[in-house]
Amino acid sequence: MTLCTRQVSLSPPGYSVKSVIDPTTCVNMHNHYCWGFIDGSTITVHDVDPDVAVLQHYKRCHFTASECRQMMNVTRADDTILKYRDQFANVVSRKLAEIGRGHVSESAKTTDGTGP
């Protein structure tokens, strides 16, 4: 298992929202937000200051190749995930074993080459 310890710049507010929605108030639902609320529903929006918390999204870059290269040229170290390495590897290994796919190596390396 390889853990990336680099972080790109934070997205601007409202770019990639994550919502907790009362389904009894929503008429049409997207996977990230409600498209239409029932008349009279109370809608409360809370923005979380990035100094308090950020949503970690570990995935491949989905922009154009040049945009992805440009974003990856401006990164900062972020080893937050490393404190969960052993717990994460154990859970993934257990789940992989359940479906007969092997296990996560004990010698998982980070992308910067450091050891477990």
| pLDDT tens for each residue of 15-37 | 777 777 888 888 888 777 788 88
What digits encode the pLDDT tens for the residues 31-86?
A: 777 888 888 888 887 788 888 877 777 677 888 999 888 888 888 888 877 888 89
- pTM, to two decimals: 0.45
> Is-contact 116 9, C-beta < 8 A?
no
Collapse the DSSP code of 73 into the 3-class scheme (helix H, G, I; strand E, B; otherwise coil) and give the result. Answer: coil
Please state the φ and ψ torsions of residue 89, each to the nearest 5 degrees.
-60, -40
Identify whether the C-beta of residue 1 lies closer than 8 Å to the C-beta of residue 105: yes
What does the pLDDT read at residue 109? Answer: 47
Instruction: Single out the residue of 57, 58, 75 nearest to residue 3, CA to CA.
Output: 58
Residue type, 112: D
